[in-house]
Chain A
């Protein structure tokens, strides 16, 4: 069945360093790949997304890359700050079909 694998499960970085989270999806029909940030006790918040017709998208310190051939996509956060600490989820879907989520990455940014 459809599956999204996400690595690493935990990531600790020093403030100012970069963080990279990687996901692999199984359904080749997937064409939409969002990333969500969830702080403790809060709702998942959409931070960036990418469609299958684009290879890379950037928004300030956050960027997402997509490799359709290898069926993987990555989240890159540069110049990390303590407020970036949260759990990050990747997901994949075909149009508005169900989002299949990865298992999450707990990012800790130490001052």
Chain B
């Protein structure tokens, strides 16, 4: 099976712009979670989507949003970019928590640089 994929892999944006990142989960996986990784804050949870619904949300401002499509692919959007949004954005997919399959598998990440 193909692993989790993310596009684009690298992105450079200017302060004030917005950005959309995409994540395709492992085939059959219905849950997609997003994390922000920075040297200072480590790995922090953004949100999780399951069956096109946001099921969990972390402590990030409303500028960070996401959605999931019927094929389980997910996108996250960051509006009004700030310098502090520069980070590696990782998505992870999971089979289905209801079946006790909690394992999350990560994609390669999108490296976002805000200038």
Q: Interface residues, chain A, CB within 8 Å of chain B? A: 32, 34, 36, 42-46, 49, 89, 91, 93, 95-104
Contact = CB atoms under 8 A, between A and B. Distances in A.
A96 B109 contact: no
A39 B64 CA distance: 27
Interface of B: 31, 33, 35, 42-45, 48, 50, 55-56, 58, 90, 92, 94, 97, 102-109
B48 A96 contact: yes
A104 B102 contact: no
Contacts of A103: 42
Contact of B90 (A43, A97, A100): A43
B45 to A, nearest CB: 4
A32 B102 contact: yes
Contacts of B104: 34, 46, 99
B97 A100 contact: no
A1 to B, nearest CB: 8
Given A93-B102, A98-B48, 8 more contacts: A36-B106, A44-B106, A46-B104, A89-B43, A96-B31, A96-B97, A98-B33, A99-B92
A88 to B, nearest CB: 12
Given A96-B94, A98-B56, A44 B103 contact: no
30 contacts: A32-B102, A34-B103, A36-B106, A42-B108, A44-B106, A45-B106, A46-B104, A46-B105, A46-B106, A49-B102, A49-B103, A89-B43, A91-B43, A96-B31, A96-B48, A96-B94, A96-B102, A98-B33, A98-B48, A98-B58, A99-B35, A99-B43, A99-B45, A99-B92, A99-B104, A101-B44, A102-B42, A103-B42, A104-B42, A104-B43
Contact of B102 (A42, A95, A101): A95
